[in-house]
Structure 1
């Protein structure tokens, strides 16, 4: 049965159930406590500031993918902002840095181009890698296929000087679960071990 107040709402409009959001957040908080992970909220997926204020502090940081998302994140909260973009431009990069705590690069050339700024601003830096492993069946939405421009490929990893890079970023899952994540970590560990042995003999 549709309640009376729903019948009075103008259309089209978004109807958001805050109780349901709270219930989902309780599940996430339970998982965080069990696994000791940090949870980032991706503004790309939902950026309504009127609703975000109700639950944003349940997260450990914000994931941004543009200057405007990074700026919105800083306006909404004091949580750390992690910014990743497949490409950055000279004109806006300094502004992105001013709103970000972590900058993640998509390629070695990107890192080389902007590393002076990152080091001078004392920002934490990560680089996206392409694990070249995915269980996504649909080619069009698989970010790890052989021709993908997302992330540094295995054969390029040995060219990276990790002394100023604090972590790696990867994305290869779509509506999948912990078994896929475990399989991916196994592949990444083997690749990094291979690079380490190749470098050190």
Structure 2
């Protein structure tokens, strides 16, 4: 199958690029003794789990369906976490998870009897410090509902825990900043951690970023684990799949209103939602920093401000031309929606041998089924 023959829009995952990231994950595990569980909230395209499974130790979730998917399609350790469980949620996953992590002491108290004897019990703690570029994604933001703060810990509830989870980073590419967070956790929670079996340090640590000092990170993790005599976990998502996937689109029109806009057959609101939510412009593979032809790359949705980016090109764009929207794996396929009834991107994987494998495709029946299954008579 030739990529030029594929109908846009579509996601194309590159196995070789994925393996490059996974080899760095393997290095980190070997040097530090940390275990790594894939954060399914970021990426859960299970058609490529066969590539990822040999490198990681399992999965972690943010809701019951992710727990089921991790258990069924990935295996290894299955960590269950949710900001707010219902009793039905807990009953649904208690038998298939290895660790059940509660967000609050009240939920832990209410549901622990459903989990004890089945899974290791954990509690999310909020360290009050974090590394995040935007307040929307900052776990330690003011009035945060995410985890128990140090001054709110009830020692009686805490005493019978097996482990805790901290999540305090978002795209942290600074190893020194992460080490400082580790030191802050040790200072504030050390006496609690010493009595536990395991500690998860969450996700958002961008150890696969070019130039990241993996050896320094590994040394800090190893020292932390030995200091508190715990098994450490990280929950990478973006670090595993960064720079592995393009969203391929076609220019369907070019309009001009003081500035030229190339309208493509995709939309941030439907297919790349974080571009819109965080106002972080996408990057286009065909663009040129010094190009003389400037275009807004606009979506085909009806939302007035829905655009991917502004980009420069060496040559004028043409209707029918394909563009590659880079780094489109994390928080994309897990957030796809049917806004405007737009065509949903297919999902492909370019395997190491060069073959392109179809992982998923969607049609009108999929759109219709999400809206109603039966009519009212």
In the superposition, the TM-score normalised over structure 2's length comes to 0.48
Structure 1: gaps spanning 5 or more residues: 197-201
The corresponding residue for 1:42 is: 39
Offset of residue 64 of structure 1: 1.5
Contact 2:58 2:74 in 1 (8 A): no
Kindly indicate whether residue 49 of structure 2 is the aligned counterpart of residue 52 of structure 1: yes
CA shift digits 1:92-146 (9 cap, x unpaired): 2111112211000111101001111121x43101111010012335322211023
Which residue of structure 1 aligns with residue 342 of structure 2? Answer: none
Residue of structure 2 in register with 1:151 after alignment: 147
After superposition, the Cα gap between the structure-2 partners of 1:5 and 1:71, relative to the gap in structure 1 and judged at 3 Å, is same
Relative to structure 1, is the Cα distance of residues 174 and 45 closer, same or farther in structure 2, using a 3 angstrom cutoff?
A: same
Alignment of 1:117-132 (within 5 A): 117-119=114-116, 121-132=117-128
Residues 28-37 or 162-171, more deviating: 162-171
Q: Secondary structure at the match of 2:169?
A: coil
What SS does structure 2 have at the residue aligned with 1:50?
helix
Report the 3-state secondary structure (helix = DSSP H, G, I; strand = E; otherwise coil) of the residue aligned with 2:151: helix
1:148-195 Cα distance to aligned partner (Å, 9 max, x none): 000001111244433321111111111113222221122222222577
Q: How does 1:16-95 map to 2 (within 5 A)?
A: 16-95=13-92
Please give the TM-score of this superposition, normalised by the length of structure 1.
0.87
**Distance (Å, rounded) in 2 between the aligned partners of 1:61 and 1:74:** 9
Residues 86 and 150, structure 1, Cα contact 8 Å, conserved in 2: yes
SS in 2 for 1:84: strand
**Could you tell me how far apart the structure 1 residues matched to 2:74 and 2:186 are?**
35
Higher mean displacement: 100-109 or 87-96: 87-96
Q: Counterpart in 2 of 1:199? A: none
Larger Rg: 2
User: Among residues 1, 4, 14, which one is paired with 2:11 in the alignment?
Assistant: 14
Cα 1:98–1:194 change in 2 (3 A) is closer
Q: Aligned residues, how many? A: 192
Q: C-alpha distance in 2, partners of 1:164/1:192?
A: 16
Residue 161 of structure 1 corresponds to 157
CA–CA distance in structure 1, aligned partners of residues 10 and 80 of structure 2: 30
Compared CA separation, residues 137 and 48, structure 1 to 2 (3 A):
closer
1:170 — aligned with what? Answer: 166
* 1:180 matched residue in structure 2: 177
Does the CA-based 8 Å contact 2:37-2:77 persist in structure 1? no
User: Which ranges in structure 2 are unaligned for 5 or more consecutive residues?
Assistant: 194-377
Distance change >3 Å, CA 46–CA 194, structure 1 → 2: closer
Structure with bigger helix share is 1
* Alignment-derived partner of residue 136 in structure 2: 140
In angstroms, what is the RMSD of aligned CA positions?
2.0
Cα offsets for 1:29-81 (capped at 9, x unmatched): 01111111111111111112211222223111111121111111121133110
8 A Cα contact 1:158 1:195, kept in partner:
no
